[in-house]
Chains A and B, each alone.
Chain A
Amino acid sequence: MSNVFVDATVLCNAIPLPHVSPANHALSFSALKKHSTSEAPFYALKELRGGPLSSIMLFHNLLVTKDTVMEAVHEFQTRYSHTPRKWQAASTAIIDALLRMLPPLRASGELSDAEIKQELENSLCLKITKAWQRRKAVINRFSQPLQCFVDGDIGLMDRQLRVLHGGADGCAKEARCGAALLLQGKMKEVAVLVEALRPPKAKKGEAREKTETSTRRKALKELQDKSAARFDKRYCRGIGDAYYCLMAPEGFEILTTNTVDFQPMAMALGKKLTHP
């Protein structure tokens, strides 16, 4: 029995969002229950809201505004590629599932396009709102509040789901980046991570480093080079996994489904990782 510091991927699986399989949900949910204390930073709520929740809400809202499911899928496809790689799984899963399910269903003639769209819209809407209501219930406590983050509440406007206030990721434009302010006290560790994330010289034929890793290093360097007050908020999302590695409290293991990306950073900082 240990204490765990939970990242957004585990939170997303535990609540669960609609794209999460029952098996992944069970794994994350039971992992949270078996530890004596589970703590998540508000940064995880911010990531959840700006990432997978936002993608799925977008798809729901496209179902509301478009005439058919296929129109919604096409529009969703054109937009989802802009989301960060680690959250694209949600969009990809939704599109794959629909493209697999729709042709035989439409060919059977059992339901009209309008009926399919309506059932899907209602089913998704309930799943999203249920996940929203559970997001704080699955974790023992949330810590490290961010001055820029407005947690908000979910609601319906013209049949579309909206989280008010603070835009897609709940970030108040006028506020300074709360994550940067918190990390300001960890500049030694930030320097360690910048070094740990430096790519080795690529040999011929070797794969280039992941975009996510280079973005993370840029975000951390931005923090190094400027004070928190001048930190460009566009880099906030780029900090991503590094946030959990830097901010996990003493005596806590980091609980994530994404051990591959976390591992070099956790090792560099001497933090322990655990997987659901």
Chain B
Amino acid sequence: MQKNPTPLLDSQEETTRPPIGELAPVYIETTVAGDRATGITVVDEKGKGTFFPDETGVKLSDKASSARTNEPLRATAPVHALYPHWEEGKSTAGLAIGSVSLAMKDLEAAAEISEDSNPQFLTLFQLAETDLFRALTQARFNKSFELVVYFCAWALRNAAFSDSRTLSLQGMISVLRELQESPFIQINRATELVTGLEMQGWNGESKVGKLFAQGLATSRRQEQATQSGDQQQLNLSGTQD
């Protein structure tokens, strides 16, 4: 499991989670772009901040305005939603990050084995795949995180073992490391990570995604046939271009 960032609160032994407002003073400031808040930054008493973009669903209390503020405010989200690292292994977010971390370690071990025909390599590869599919079921706390996990899980499943020699395990490990360290990744960065993996040859399309693409290709072929009819008509009139 990864090293904890500075937790907001030291209450690991608590069994019942009180509302965050009762735990400790939490300083929150909005981050603004133009006239609109794009997220919030939770700053602990030592001044260390963690940014939560709007898409994570973390809300400010009614006291917060869209303008920048350094006033102490209470968060309205439960702490496990605010700070999944804090409760590693307890919240689904923490579990998802843990599963990603395990997958990363499995792939790191696989990358150290030079021959991919080695049974140990295949086992590690499959373990990583299992870890990521488990993470996928736990990743709903941030859809951008979930999308990268989805792509990586299916990329490992789709990778024929004969192809794995040519695929960049290091590229995949690097992406998983970023996910583990930035679970509140935003959609643009998530898309960049996936595009990067695709450029390295990974194919993260799911079974349903592939069937949908096939269905679209059939549908488009029919449309093209109709369009080529139009085109033929145009050429016959001798007026194109």
Residues of B within 8 A of A267 (CB): 239
Indicate whether A37 reaches chain B with its CB closer than 8 angstroms.
no
Residues of B within 8 A of A191 (CB): none
Residues of A within 8 A of B32 (CB): none
Chain B interfacial positions (CB closer than 8 Å to A): 36, 53-55, 57, 143-144, 146-147, 150-151, 186-188, 190-192, 194-195, 204-209, 211-212, 214-224, 227, 230-231, 233-234, 239-241
Q: Which of B55, B214, B239 contacts A263 (CB 8 A)?
A: B239
Assuming A155-B54, A156-B144, A259-B240, is B216 touching A123 (CB within 8 A)? no
- Of the A-B pairs whose beta carbons lie under 8 Å apart in the complex, a sample of 21, sorted by A's number, is A21-B217, A23-B224, A89-B223, A93-B223, A96-B219, A97-B214, A120-B208, A123-B206, A126-B194, A126-B204, A129-B147, A132-B191, A133-B191, A155-B186, A155-B187, A156-B55, A259-B231, A263-B239, A263-B240, A267-B239, A274-B241
Residue contact A119 to B206, C-beta cutoff 8 Å: yes
Query: Which of B144, B195, B204, B208 has its CB near the most chain A CB atoms (within 10 A)?
Result: B208
Minimum Cβ distance to chain B for residue A104 (Å) = 9
Complex Cα gap A223–B230 (Å): 31
For chain A, what secondary structure do more than half of its interface residues adopt (helix, strand, loop), or is it mixed? helix
Residues of A within 8 A of B146 (CB): 122
* Count of chain A to chain B residue pairs whose CB atoms are closer than 8 Å in the complex: 123
Chain A interfacial positions (CB closer than 8 Å to B): 18-24, 89, 92-94, 96-98, 100-101, 105, 111, 115-116, 119-120, 122-126, 129-130, 132-133, 153-159, 164-165, 257, 259-260, 263, 267, 272-275
Q: Which residue of B lies closest to A22 (CB)?
A: B217
Residue contact B195 to A125, C-beta cutoff 8 Å: no
Complex Cα gap A133–B240 (Å): 34
Residues of A within 8 A of B206 (CB): 119, 122-123
Residues of B within 8 A of A154 (CB): 187-188
Residue contact A19 to B240, C-beta cutoff 8 Å: no
Minimum Cβ distance to chain B for residue A188 (Å) = 23
Assuming A156-B143, A274-B241, is B187 touching A93 (CB within 8 A)? no
